[in-house]
């Protein structure tokens, strides 16, 4: 969860639930969750995997699971930049601002 806490500084509109970072708007829900590799044969210096899930609100006002992508980049700046670019292309909004 340490990477998620560091990403909170990069994405000021995010809400940290203790388990994930959530961005929510009238039409979208974007969730970032952190996953550690459980393969202990690999070195312990592997960066965490950040899963980005995107859901869109349906006509019945329920959020419908859409797609997700896993990110595992060595530096926090590069990780945040690529997540932001991915979400921006997927929903057409910037995570550093409030999503529409």
Q: Per-residue pLDDT tens for 32-71?
A: 999 976 665 555 667 889 999 999 999 999 999 888 999 9
Specify whether the CB–CB gap between 81 and 74 falls below 8 A: no
DSSP 54-97: EEEE-TTSPEEEEEEEEE--SSHHHHHHHHHHHHHHHHSS-TTS
Quick one: pLDDT at residue 67?
A: 86
Quick one: pLDDT at residue 26?
A: 87
pTM for this prediction: 0.83
Confidence class for position 96, pLDDT limits 50, 70, 90: low
């Amino acid at each position: 969860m340490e990477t998620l806490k560091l990403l909170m500084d990069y994405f000021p509109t995010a809400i940290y639930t203790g388990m994930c970072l959530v961005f929510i708007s009238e039409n979208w829900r974007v969730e970032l969750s952190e996953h550690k590799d459980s393969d202990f044969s690999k070195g312990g210096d592997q960066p965490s995997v950040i899963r980005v899930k995107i859901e869109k609100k349906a006509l019945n006002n329920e959020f419908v699971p859409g797609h997700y992508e896993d990110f595992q980049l060595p530096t926090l700046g590069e990780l945040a930049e690529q997540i932001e670019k991915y979400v921006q292309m997927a929903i057409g909004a910037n995570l550093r601002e409030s999503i529409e």
